[in-house]
Amino acid sequence: MLYILLGQDDFSLSQALEEIKRGIGDQSLLSANTTTFDGQQMSLDQLRTTCETVPFLAEKRLVIVNGLLGRFEPKGKPSRRKKVKPDQQDEYKSLGDYIGNIPDSTVLVLVDGDIKSNNPLLKELSVRAEIKSFPLLKRDKLRQWIQGWVKGKGGSISSQAVDLLAHIVGGNLWIMANEIDKLVLFTSGRRVEEEDVRIAVGYMPETNVYAMTDAILEFKAGVAEQLLEQLLQRGVAPAYLLFMLSRQVQMIIRTKELRKQRKPEAEIQKKLGLTSEFALCRTLERADRYPVERLKEVYDKLLQTDLSIKRGKYEGGLALNILIAELCQKRRTTK
């Protein structure tokens, strides 16, 4: 049997691999009949020798090869790709011919990341293999996964808590699963709410800075002051808060410029270095919501506050409180 597991979501991929293992006879004998290869280095002779070795006291042998397809992945842009070298072509054809005819006693699993559909070895094997793809989960699919994992752990979760978790953690399901496990234990049978996520999830300082930035931009002094107090009480340094506030505003300004240049969302996400799809959506929404004049006003004031702290005019916490009061007072004085 031949399986091909592909994709960047290595959490779901590893679960699929464990499911394959559970379907292979006596689990107590499986470790003695499992071999793992580095596909970038493995030779056909090594693969043949292992696959044709009779399983020890079992019906099946498991062979896992990591990165073999990537070894033959076309490089560069389509118009500039070089033709496959004759020796490399012979290599993938020989591998393809053998892999397609492995003994019935062997279960072979090829594991790889993002592989293009024109990968020559993948094309050779596609009609003979069971192929499963695991792209990173985004937006609605990520929300559905969160809800399903919480349910599988015997818990329940509000839609607001789902959205906040997705924004904070993004598509890294290893971290997400760990945070959900903590939340289900933390809530002890009741529904997980947004506030539970704020209390229990370890990523919250950055998220609270995110909310504080919005509050300042929207002249909400009370909200901004409350968030600042919470962060300072948790031991977050004023210098870090100032840096993060400046970074947030700068990112929104940059997003507005990229949108003005009609850059696609994928390019904007890459240029901003955002790993979370939800963070991208939120940043795009903020870029549409806030006028550039307000953003520049806040950014200039942040720079002035940084200078006042460095010159010893104000202590960090006091300087941030004065910053919030002055920026949120603007609306009242312009009415």
**Best CATH choice for the domain 204-334 from the list 1.10.3720.10, 1.20.272.10, 3.90.550.10, 3.40.50.2000:** 1.20.272.10
Q: How many residues does the chain have?
A: 335
Q: What is the DSSP string of 132-171?
A: EE-PPP-HHHHHHHHHHHHHHTT--B-HHHHHHHHHHHTT
- What mean pLDDT do residues 312-325 have? 91
Helix (H) or strand (E) holding 110, with range, is: strand 106-112
Range with top average pLDDT, 18-27, 44-53, 159-168, 223-232? 44-53
pLDDT band at 66; cut points 50, 70, 90: very high
- Tell me if 34 sits within 8 A of 64, measured CB to CB: yes
What pLDDT is stored for residue 335 in this prediction?
38
Q: What is the phi-psi region of residue 100: left when phi exceeds 0, alpha when psi lies from -120 to 50, beta otherwise? A: alpha
Per the prediction, the chain carries an average pLDDT of 86
Residue 151 has pLDDT above 90, yes or no: yes
Band (pLDDT 50/70/90 cuts) for residue 206 is low
pLDDT for 16 equals: 94
Could you tell me what percentage of the chain is helix, strand and coil, using 3-state DSSP and rounding each to the nearest 5?
65, 10, 30
Residue 54 has pLDDT above 70, yes or no: yes
Other Cβ atoms closer than 10 A to 12: 19
> Class assignment of domain 140-200?
mainly alpha
- The pair of structure tokens assigned to 4 is 């091909």
Interaxial angle between packed helices 86-99 and 44-51, expressed in degrees from 0 to 180 and rounded to the nearest 10: 10
**Alpha-carbon dihedral angle through residues 247, 252, 256, 258, given to the nearest 10 degrees:** 50
Look-up: residue for tokens 């808590």?
161
| Gap between the Cα atoms of 128 and 96, Å rounded | 10
pLDDT at residue 307 greater than cutoff 70: yes
Mean pLDDT of 118-135: 90
**What CATH superfamily classification does 2-133 receive?**
P-loop containing nucleotide triphosphate hydrolases (3.40.50.300)
**CA–CA distance, 189 with 66 (Å, rounded to integer):** 40
- pTM: predicted TM-score of the whole model, two decimal places: 0.60
Helix (H, G, I), strand (E, B) or coil at 162: helix
Domain boundaries, the chain: 2-133, 140-200, 204-334
Whole-number percent of the chain with pLDDT over 90 = 37
H/E stretch holding 16 reads helix 10-22
How many angstroms separate the CA atoms of 93 and 216, rounded?
A: 62
* 37 vs 56: CA distance, rounded Å: 19
